Amino acid sequence: MLRLANIVILSWGWKRRLIALGAGAAGALAMPPFDFAPALCIPLMAAVWLIDGAARGPEQRGFPAIRDAAGAGWWVGYGYFLAGLWWLGSAFLVEADKFLWALPIAVGGMPAGLALFTAGGFALARVLWSPGAGRILALATGLGAAEWIRGTVFTGFPWNEFGMALGGNLVLAQISSLAGLYGLNFLAVAIFAAPATLIDGATGTDGEPARRPLWRSPTGWAGAALAAIAIFGAARLGAGPSEFEPSVKLRIMQPNLPQDEKFRPENKDRILSHYLSLSDRATSPQSSGAMDATHLIWPESAFPFILSRDPASLARIGALLGDTTTLITGAARIGDRARGDLLPGETQATYHNSIQVIGKAGVILDTYDKVHLVPFGEYLPFSGFLTSYGIRHLVHIPGGFTPGALRKSITAPKLPAFAPLVCYEAIFPGEALAGDGKSDRPGFMLNLTNDAWFGHTPGPYQHFAQARLRSIEEGLPLVRAANTGISAIIDAHGRIISQLPLGVEGVLDGALPKRIEATFFSKNPFLGSSVLFLLMIAGALFAKLRS
């Protein structure tokens, strides 16, 4: 290991950049669908040695050392995001005649932008850097803060944060009920970077480091922390089996429609007929059709038309539901909005990506409009400037979707109030519930999504894992309907009760798990991660001052 560390520390120029790029790319193996958490050791141990290398020699003090550390961090981040997010390019192949030109920009450009956060994390770590164990806390402080910022600024993109190396494991993920995803980031960086210090120690007579006992080293402390997290998770999971809401029978419909067919208006009747026949499919003597379920659930943006303005389609749906079943479905919706440049009393039509509750006779009972939209997918930032160059968003909606006014819970007959999450709204920690999440706490979360844009790539697996982590954070069950999968029913501890795999057409019947007592994270969303940040930075500063 000492020889490998010296190669990294003493590397320079393009050799240094390639080492950083390759180490970052290897870290993507810690994310779904691979879930090989130890792979995160590769970029984080390399990070320690790269920043060590930025500090050598009197000419590498102060700003030059910070600049060199930031440069290494950019290359680590670029490799990590390039290997972990390449599948985003699939969305530009759905209508290749219109968007193929943008594929290299998305696949290569987005990782370049996200790597700036990693570069900033390396720079902050270098400011706090000191010999010995303190530099592990410095790195955890820098990268943990950078990942937190990445998840919040410019509408936020907390996708594949380092903490998901822990969050992808059901036992280890239970600690997120205290600290959330951003707390997992601090812990994951500290734990997986710690083995880099195995090369530390006074040099013995044979020229090799005289290492301290493992139990007294940062690696030993990291192992103890990991064991404590595992013990906490096992105890939490062993508290008892899932309990279920009485008299609620869910049926999730997963149509598995290709994205290039899903939004063609000429497919309107065929798509609705497919939904109706699949939803009424018999799966067992106890589930002979849609009317045997109390609640039927369809995925995001299910129709290539505006359902609320199509009485014939609502009537067909009402005939399927009868008097006993309620449908909860994704659907585009047209609303009206007053605008300052219009005449008094005039309004402009707005389009919303919505969840609608449909009851007896096809009557729409409740609606939620998606609040957190996807930039460039559902709307175009700086639209006035970009449209002048012929650039537009991916969805076929004039002017793009308009965000909903506020996050709220939805009600449906015979069902606890639930928190609606459309598509990637489910990846944002602390944003799943309306208000402060303490008053009028919902009974469960409902995530309707359409991952058909990304085919059979790691993307849908990563999306599913991040949505599941919200259950553990909030102590709420999650019901998920995805067009191509993964659809599932998940309990309040993140345990998968039942699921339909990616790329399968079918229906999923199941009971609704009950919520559990509100977690510490649910009551105090960012307190745990803030405490970890303060502890990390205090330890790093103490070590620096002491050195």
Residues labelled as active-site residues: 300, 370, 423
Contact 304, 267 (CB under 8 A): yes
The SS3 assignment for 128 reads coil
Residue linked to tokens 């004039």: 398
Question: Which residues on neighbouring strands pair with residue 348, listed in sequence order?
Answer: 337
Instruction: Please give the full DSSP string across 220-234, using - where no structure is assigned.
Output: HHHHHHHHHHHHHHH
Contact 279, 309 (CB under 8 A): no
> Cis ω on the peptide bond leading into residue 358 (within 30° of 0)?
no
Closest to 182 in 3D by CA, of 421, 427, 429, 425? 429
| Phi, psi for residue 284 in degrees, rounded to 5 | -170, 170
Contact 427, 467 (CB under 8 A): yes
Closest to 540 in 3D by CA, of 125, 138, 47? 138
Cα dihedral value 507, 460, 396, 390, nearest 10: -170
Residue linked to tokens 């006992």: 213
- Give just the sign of the alpha carbon dihedral 283, 286, 288, 290: negative
Closest to 229 in 3D by CA, of 293, 317, 169, 303? 169
Query: Exposed, middle or buried, 537 (CB in 10 Å: 0-12/13-18/19+)?
Result: buried
- Give just the sign of the alpha carbon dihedral 334, 338, 341, 346: positive
Report DSSP state, residue 212.
Answer: P
